[in-house]
Amino acid sequence: MSDITPFGSTPSSQAAIAEAIDAIAAGLDRVMAGFTNLRGLLLPEAAGAAEFDPKDPANKYEVGGLMKLTAQGTEICYRLFDAGKSRYAVATTMDISFGAANHRYEAWKKLGGVSRMKQPLN
């Protein structure tokens, strides 16, 4: 039996094609993130951007000596991402670790990113 597929490519060339597609997809993700950041820099901030305080103590609660984000804190984090802020900027603004900001960024993307359903702030 031959290792050639119906289109004449070998399994190793199929792997190379899959890697190339993954690299292109990752590049497109970086471009889209760049456009989002550029939009945040060029467009004036939304009128409602000042309706929350990222450093408000109500954004966090303590569990066993660790500070966790409340639902309000999570929503503020997501709104900062909506505004085009980077994970580093969100971590600094909200006084959370980069790892926590990265976790929230991934959750924000899974919820639909900018087009997600915004939750009310308490």
Mean pLDDT of the chain: 85
Note whether 61 and 112 are same-domain residues: yes
For residues 47 and 6, give the distance between their C-alpha atoms in angstroms, rounded to a whole number.
57
Number of domains in the chain: 2
Residues 6+ apart with CB under 8 A from 92: none
Give this prediction's pTM. Answer: 0.59
Residue 3 in any domain: the answer is no
Residue 2 in any domain: the answer is no
Note whether 77 and 108 are same-domain residues: yes
Note whether 16 and 62 are same-domain residues: no
Note whether 63 and 42 are same-domain residues: no
Q: For the segment 55-76, what is each residue's pLDDT rounded down to a tens digit?
A: 888 899 999 988 899 999 999 9
pLDDT at res. 122 = 73
Note whether 75 and 41 are same-domain residues: no
Residue 4 in any domain: the answer is no
Give me the domain span that covers residue 24.
Answer: 10-46
Instruction: Give me the CATH number covering residue 96.
Output: 1.10.10
Q: Which residue has the higher pLDDT, 78 or 4?
A: 78
Distance between the two ends of the chain, CA-based, in angstroms? 66
Note whether 72 and 119 are same-domain residues: yes
Of the candidates 76, 77, 52, 73, the one whose C-alpha atom is nearest the C-alpha of residue 61 is 73
% of the chain with per-residue pLDDT over 70: 86
Note whether 28 and 84 are same-domain residues: no
Note whether 42 and 63 are same-domain residues: no
